[in-house]
């Protein structure tokens, strides 16, 4: 299950040194994102228990950038993401939705790009709900709150953050590659939007 968490830094780990090797090995074990199931040869390695020194294959998996944002909240800045309250959408649906927008913003069709920009702005506008409830939409503030909370007590704070989600800035992500049909077409957007409206989140 996808939930907000922190990236752990542990003495003795050299992430930059072996990241390419680790990604390649993790890909050989399977290329589907651990959380949303998105299959891509560009998903990157992550440790299931958050401990980079636990290199057992059973602890190694891959994630896409949108799900990684949930697992590594403390790596996000105000320039790279905002926190928004999005009732009625699962974290996995939010990742798929953002990925589709991310792809559409770089497509050749101007109307599709305009539609994607409007939907991205619609998503981002939901940061005002977070600001009203928590007085901030800065991802760093929520990362600090998690950091100050003992690991065994973090589920309580996550419950209080129900429907809170990072919305990423597409301009801070690399160009999309290795697309699947679902994410490369906006045909399903109206269904997603109508479903969200029915949930009372508009």
- Summarize pLDDT for 123-168 with one digit per residue, the tens: 999 999 999 999 999 999 999 999 999 989 999 999 999 999 999 9
User: Token pair for residue 124?
Assistant: 């981002």
Q: Are strands 164-168 and 81-85 parallel, antiparallel or unpaired?
A: antiparallel
pLDDT of 8 above 50: yes
Average pLDDT over residues 91-107: 87
Pick the more confident residue, 20 or 164. 164
Looking at residue 202, its pLDDT comes to: 47
User: Token pair for residue 76?
Assistant: 């996000």
Question: How crowded is residue 50: how many other Cβ atoms within 10 Å of its Cβ?
Answer: 16
Looking at residue 194, its pLDDT comes to: 64
Q: What rounded mean pLDDT belongs to the chain?
A: 85
Average pLDDT over residues 173-186: 58
Tell me the percentage of the chain whose pLDDT exceeds 90: 48
pTM of the predicted protein model: 0.82
Average pLDDT over residues 65-76: 93
């Amino acid at each position: 299950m996808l939930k907000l968490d922190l990236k752990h830094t542990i003495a003795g780990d050299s992430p930059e040194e072996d990241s390419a090797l680790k990604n390649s090995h993790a890909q050989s074990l399977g290329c589907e994102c651990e959380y949303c199931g998105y299959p891509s040869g560009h998903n990157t390695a992550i440790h299931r228990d958050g401990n980079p020194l636990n290199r057992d294959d059973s602890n190694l998996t891959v994630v896409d950038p949108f799900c990684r944002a949930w697992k590594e909240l403390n790596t996000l800045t105000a320039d790279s993401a905002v926190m928004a309250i999005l009732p009625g959408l699962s974290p996995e649906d939010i990742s798929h939705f953002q990925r589709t927008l991310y792809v559409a913003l770089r497509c050749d069709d101007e109307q599709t790009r305009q539609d994607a920009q409007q939907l991205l702005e619609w998503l981002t506008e939901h940061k005002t709900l977070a600001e009203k409830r928590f007085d901030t939409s800065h991802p760093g503030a929520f990362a600090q709150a998690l950091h100050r909370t003992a690991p065994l007590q973090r589920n309580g704070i996550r419950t209080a953050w129900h429907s809170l989600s990072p919305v990423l800035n597409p301009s801070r992500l690399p160009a999309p590659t290795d697309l699947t049909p679902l994410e490369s077409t906006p045909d399903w957007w109206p269904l997603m939007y109508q479903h969200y409206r029915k949930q009372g989140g508009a």
